[in-house]
Structure formats: C-alpha cells, structure tokens
Structure 1
C-alpha cells in the first residue's frame, strides 16, 4: 500500500486561490477494501463539503471470477468459501467496517464477475455524481451488511428503488448499453493511469497531485489531502450526541468507524456517544459480523431527491 505525492510542475498551491480538490476514486462495488474507505468518504462529505469533490471510476475487479474460485478450491481442498470467509473477517478486523461474511458468501453460488455491479453503478451515475455516489454506497451496504447478491440484475434494481432512483431509466441504461459503455470508458482510464488494484485514489489540486494505492485509514488519507492542499481545513463537527444523531438522520445507518471519522475522534469516544443515544431510544444497534452498525430510530436514509 503505497502513498506517492508528486508535484507535477514543482509548484505549491496558493491556499488563498480557492478551488476544489479533485479526488478520483478507482473502485469496484464488490471490493471489500473499498468498503473500508467509506469512513473517509463520509468525512469528506461532511467536513469538506465545499473544498473536495469526488469522482468515481469503476475498475472491474474480476471480469471472470471462475479461475480465482478454482484456484482457491484447489488450495483449500475444495473448501474455498471457508478460505474466503477467513479473508473477509481479516479485512474487516483491519479496516473496522462491519461485514457479514457468512451471508455474503451465501449469495455467491451464481457469482462469476464483478462487472455487472460496476455497470449498475454507472447506470446510476448517469443521473449525476451525487446519485451515483449514493447508489454505490447502497450497493456496498447490500453486499457487505445484508449479504445480497449485487451481481444480480434484480438486486441492482431493488437497490435503485430503495435509494429513490427512477428504476425505469436505470433499467434502460442497463439494457441499452449506455451504462456498459461508460464502464468500459472507466476501464480505459484505469489502463491509461496504470491502475491495477483497488482502491486507488488520485488527489489533485492544480499542478499538485498525490496517489494512494490500496486502503489506508482515514487519518492517513487526510494527511495526504493536506499535503496536496496545505490551506484546507475541515468544518468543525461538535463531538456531541446531537451531532451523532444528525449524522444518523442524514445517512440512516453508519458503522462506529464512520461516526468517529466524521467527528475526528477515536472509535471508543464515538461509541460512548452512540450508546448514550441508544439508551435514550434514539438509535438502534445491529451486530454485523464482528462489528456494529447503528441506525437512526426514525429509520431514515439518504435518498436521491426527485427531479422538480
């Protein structure tokens, strides 16, 4: 996992000049390391709303998963799902985003490629960058938290409906080839930029850019962000129960690690606030794998606004 900072033209941005930092995220909905990047993405949305914009590129982790499945089966004496479950648990322990590995593996009998989910993400992004981001997040929740088979068209449409997308337009984008063409354009960008693994991030402001290959904690990501834009400053979020309640009202459900990232505090401090809200009946606790997902008792979630 490498972090490279490269001043292309040898110049340092003027903090007074303004302008947004552009973060390009090369990703795949199925990638469990990318799921671990969600705390930083939510922190960017909340504390840098006017200073950072995120652009998504779908990389397509596996066009054909069959050779990987066969290799794991040979290495594990036919018990490939046990090997993958152990891998998922190890990844979750490192990035601290909950994953229900048994349920995830319960939906992969007909799984042979990550490309369909990538194409679905591009179908959503046809509505705009924000709808695309919301849909990608919902796909990841469906896979990592709920164990739903996001490679299936039926599940992709269900998730689109859940976040408020126009499912007819979404289905048309999947069926007419436009979403697949957009995905293949992303693949071409990945090849041109020599992106071979996910997640990969390019962080750019003017002539200064940084590249992060592989998952990093949000604290490391933010340090690189400050190297690219020394003048950037997060919007302060009070470390209070009211702030946590507002975060959950906005997003519907969050992992402890996500709340701590938004607040800029250790996980333990965030969990204390969450437990206080739980005691007051304002949030609900759901144990997922070895972690916890917190849900607003009001049951709200981030939905895409209907067009005027």
Structure 2
C-alpha cells in the first residue's frame, strides 16, 4: 500500500494562471482527500516574468487576453472577470506574497493564494504590484499582515521564489511531448532562452525511486490513478462537506467547486453571491465583509505580452 509519509506531491502553479484557476475544484478536492502525512509543496513558476517585453498595444493585448481567459473558462467552468482592466505586468509580486504566506501555515497560505487568484479572474484587477498583492490578502482569517508584508519584502522569500522559478524550468524529458485529449494536455512550454518550463498546472508525485507527472488540466480520476500507482494508501475517499461547513472552510466557492466539494441545500444561509462573467462566486459572509471590492454592486476591482500557461 505504501507509506503516505514517503509521498511528496509538488504542484507547479502561478497565482495568475488561468488554467491553474480552472483546476481549483479538482485540486481542492484532491488536497482534501490526501492523507495528512503526505508532503504537499507548491512551486511558484513566475508565469509573467520581470524581463518580459511590454506589449506594443496594451489595450489590444488586454482584449485578446480577456478572450483567451474566457475561452479557458468555457472548458473549466471557472468564473472570469466581467471586465479585465489589464494584463498582469508580472507574477513576481503575487508569487512573493503567496510564498511569504506559506510561512504562516498551510491554511493561511491556501487562503492568500486564493485571494490572489481572484484579483484577476473575479475582480479583473490583477495583483501585479506588491501593494496590490498585500492588499488582496487583507482580512484573511489567521493572517499576520505585518509579518506577511515584512516576509514578502525579504531577501529570503525572494530567494525562495527565485528557486521555485528555476525548478519550474527543469521539467523532466517525458513532459516535452504529451499526448492527451484534454483541452490543455500540459506539454512543457518553450522559454525565451530556448529552454522549457512546466505547463501550469502540473502535479509531480514522488516516492523514493519513482515519480509520476500529471500535467495540464486533468480530472480527479487522473490524479487518483497516478496516486494509486505510486502510493494507494495516500488517498482517502473524498467526502463532500455540508454546504455551510464547506463555505466556512473554503471562504469562497465557484459553481464547479460547490458541486464537487459540498452536499445538501445550496446556498447556505448568509452566503453572498457575486456575479462574474461566467457564473457566480459564493462568499462566506465574513469573507464578503472583509473584502468591500468583492461586494455585490462594487466596481470591478503597463501590460506584458501574456505567456501561454
């Protein structure tokens, strides 16, 4: 059956990646199903890099990227912003804040990363500066905001993101070509310097002496099959939570997430519905109160050329 403590699950992602956002329902379900002894690690790949060339026509580039995100949402069912203000100028600020949040525990880190994703895919205002990324995390339950700001600006956290970026640009040879009928099969992407990086999202599962990579946008069953091959004891039968309990835990849920992660009558009492360009986002009332920009009726909250996740 294998020892779950010997298994490492590595998720290659970026806070501003539309396919990673679309994979949240399955990845949330997977994380909830893993034995707590499994080691889980996220690698911030820096999708929008610091040295990317600026777009010659930011308005046209934003319009193109908004259509691109909407096309992805048609596959994944994920929300997209009613109006996207701009293409993100860079992933470094949000990656620094996401990595700094990891120093405050998994639950805080999950909630901060989720807030960062929602800046672009719900509010249409990507957290592409450090002040914006820190503001996105404001009010997260259990978060020490002063510590987050200090850590995000530290050399130590910048080095951790730099290491993540380098790791993401060393995909294994078997990911250079991927044959799959997924709309995003996940073959490694070429980089400007002639190298490659992981497609996002990609999960790599490792036990001593063996690994399995599951790239691109995949079903829960694809991840479960890979785990069954390496360490079947690491996966428990997923149990949807009662609706109110699920919203309390996750704080926000998309329609695909509430179908995958909850049971019982929906919506629970007090849930706040926020309309997007592709279905609602449901907020716990405390989450809505902590985020005035995400309240119903609130306004939606120089661009680089968008890379392909």
CA distance in 1, matches of 2:171, 2:272: 43
C-alpha deviation, 1:215, in angstroms: 1.9
Q: Which deviates more from structure 2 when the two are superposed, residues 86-95 or residues 173-182?
A: 173-182
User: Which residue in 2 is equivalent to 1:202?
Assistant: 204
Normalised by the length of structure 1, the TM-score is 0.74
* Structure 2 counterpart of 1:39, from 7, 25, 28: 25
User: Contact (CA 8 Å) 2:38, 2:234: kept in 1 or not?
Assistant: no
User: Which residue in 2 is equivalent to 1:6?
Assistant: none
Secondary structure at 2:163's aligned position in 1? helix
CA distance in 2, matches of 1:66, 1:186: 18
User: Contact (CA 8 Å) 2:48, 2:92: kept in 1 or not?
Assistant: yes
Listed as ranges, the matches of 1:119-134 within 5 Å are 119-134=96-111
* Structure 2 counterpart of 1:217, from 216, 219, 222: 219
Instruction: State the 4+ residue runs in structure 1 displaced beyond 4 angstroms.
Output: none
Secondary structure at 1:155's aligned position in 2? helix
CA change 1:185–1:232 in 2 (3 A) is closer
User: Contact (CA 8 Å) 1:30, 1:143: kept in 2 or not?
Assistant: yes
Residue deviations 1:207-245 (CA, integer Å, cap 9, x gap): 33211222223332233222322344424526xxx7122
User: Which residue in 1 is equivalent to 2:187?
Assistant: none
Q: How many residues are paired up? A: 264
CA change 1:49–1:91 in 2 (3 A) is same
User: Contact (CA 8 Å) 2:93, 2:128: kept in 1 or not?
Assistant: yes
C-alpha deviation, 1:261, in angstroms: 2.6
User: Which residue in 1 is equivalent to 2:8?
Assistant: 22
CA distance in 2, matches of 1:54, 1:232: 12
C-alpha deviation, 1:56, in angstroms: 0.8
RMSD: 2.9
C-alpha deviation, 1:293, in angstroms: 1.8
Residue deviations 1:39-96 (CA, integer Å, cap 9, x gap): 12221333325254320111111214753733xx59xxx7332221111111011111
Q: Which deviates more from structure 2 when the two are superposed, residues 21-30 or residues 56-65?
A: 56-65
User: Which residue in 1 is equivalent to 2:63?
Assistant: 82
Normalised by the length of structure 2, the TM-score is 0.74
User: Which residue in 2 is equivalent to 1:178?
Assistant: 156
User: Which residue in 1 is equivalent to 2:229?
Assistant: 227
Secondary structure at 2:286's aligned position in 1? coil
Residue deviations 1:111-150 (CA, integer Å, cap 9, x gap): 4222221122122223344433332122112221122331
User: Which residue in 2 is equivalent to 1:260?
Assistant: 259
Report the structure, 1 or 2, having the larger helix content: 1
CA distance in 1, matches of 2:234, 2:221: 15
CA distance in 2, matches of 1:101, 1:222: 34
Secondary structure at 1:67's aligned position in 2? coil
User: Contact (CA 8 Å) 2:10, 2:203: kept in 1 or not?
Assistant: yes
* Structure 1 counterpart of 2:92, from 115, 128, 148: 115
